[in-house]
Chains A and B, each alone.
Chain A
């Protein structure tokens, strides 16, 4: 057991190293074509100015020293954007409440809704309800979040005036406003996953129903509902929960970007989007690294939890 955990953590560390390295190389070496000072200096700079900038920011040092310095800066929260001059990590930190509210809220919503809809579709397999739910879930996975968000903003926000047009209100300043502002973003983000998860759960349940132990449970005289909850759901939910953990990590990492931008939530994702427009490499790099870190970390935790729950995994079956 400990061997598995240790091994998994080592893999995680190696992955993190590779990710930071690749991101760094891409943004600092590949993008500016090897001369980041020229990028910062602008088009009309003289070679002397470019050289000054080069020395000031340390671009003339060898690549591996730059790498170490950059990593040190990012992790000690001392990285500053070349464009805005702001402390990058502080900016990211200020965007966290919005991103986390969105991701966690949506995560809970989609998990519960998928379980409900997936179970419903499985129980009524082949009949009208099931068909309708399947069509809806197909629609769900085909809708890009920013389009759905735009549609919601237009119809529900502008035309009907039911929900606010976007923006984020922190929970501490007004819980009710926070909730109102998060409703549409939560819905938008969840739709995609509900579509996918309810179908996965449906097929898992349908597979489980044919298992012998379910038949035994019925034979013992348990009611439909008892069998459903105690046996079928318990086993069907395991893959769903582990998928959920991984997807939650991915959402915090990337999926939230589109939804945040459309609803103007000023979270980490929107910060990333704005940085792309400005070509703010420092923010982009720091953001990508920190988010990828969180994703890999969460992924490792999920793997470990999954292994704890299912002995077949840790024994390498």
Chain B
């Protein structure tokens, strides 16, 4: 268009009034994160289950409150020979043949029953939840940080760095997850890990964190590999940014949505893996409670006291299910073109 133009506007054709930054009268565009947040808000099912998970977390964090003020027992307080007054009747906490009582539905004692050592299941459930969730969270953090780091380094620098990192990831990947967890878990549970003595919760968290690294690092690496070829990276190099600056300010924001999508997925799997490893004996060591150990001990007393299996199991499934559904909703919000979704 050969219209005369004021200096500084030679390259615009008059049709593009309102781009951000030139003081035009259109508002700046809505960023992808805001859009995603709005989509998420509309997804009632995902929000509901997100709330459920938060509720579980809060309940478990309040474990000491429940233990001290309501139930008046700790999670490890064994009471094999004691009796309780349930609805007016005196009953043995653990019967003479070793059967613990079921749920009393009375808050101040054995609300959800007792386990075979006479410990209060409800108190143990909350404390166990703290442990399981803490391990899951730490493991997820470990995985995400390391996987992002390794994925970015491998994808950005390629060549030799990529070779080493990818082969390392392959080795971890080749180990079946549970076996790797068992190997590391058994060894480290006995030996401890550096400053973390044996019995520390950080040991299973570390093990689980390591196991999932390749699962996340590979997609991130793939994404960084493609991103690296884009023009804006060249432009940044031309501007004189160092490699570190480029990775931080150009690449990281672009892989951010991938990272966000992975977090609930890894969290759910980490909680499940912790339960599995503890059930096998390679995770949280007794007497520390965890949902996995409660289920494991409960299985020994089927069928007489099935509540010992059902209670921690349902909690576990509920927590993991909530994380999964919320994560699914999150993924839909960030990438609405994905075809797999839960209700609207």
Contacts and interface: CB of A to CB of B under 8 A. Distances in A.
Interface residues on B, range: 35 or more
Interface string B332-344: 0000001111110
Given A18-B171, A138-B321, A258-B276, A151 B313 contact: yes
14 contacts: A138-B328, A142-B268, A144-B295, A146-B279, A147-B316, A150-B309, A154-B306, A250-B177, A254-B182, A257-B178, A261-B280, A273-B281, A288-B182, A296-B174
A153 interface: yes
Contacts, number: 147
Interface residues of A, number: 56
Tell me the dominant secondary structure on chain A's binding face: helix
**A138, A142, A153, A207: most-surrounded residue (chain B CB, <10 A):** A142
A31 B191 contact: yes
Contacts of B328: 138
The 10 closest A-B pairs by CB, nearest first: A254-B178, A253-B176, A254-B176, A147-B313, A142-B321, A158-B303, A206-B339, A142-B320, A203-B340, A31-B187
B325 A138 contact: yes
Given A150-B295, A262-B299, A288 B340 contact: no
Nearest to B265: A141
B254 interface: no
Contacts of B321: 138-139, 142
A151 B171 contact: no
Given A33-B191, A144-B279, A284-B182, 9 more contacts: A15-B171, A19-B174, A138-B342, A142-B317, A144-B316, A147-B309, A199-B340, A253-B178, A299-B174
Contacts of A276: 182, 186, 280-282
A296 B180 CA distance: 14
A299 B173 CA distance: 11
**B170, B186, B272, B321: most-surrounded residue (chain A CB, <10 A):** B186
A143 interface: yes
B302 A150 contact: yes
Contact of A291 (B176, B191, B282, B299): B176
Interface of A: 11, 15, 18-19, 22-23, 26-27, 30-31, 33, 125, 131, 134-135, 138-139, 141-147, 150-151, 153-154, 158-159, 199, 202-203, 206-207, 249-250, 253-255, 257-258, 261-262, 272-273, 276-277, 279, 284, 288, 291-292, 295-296, 299
Interface string B282-314: 100000000010011011001100100110010
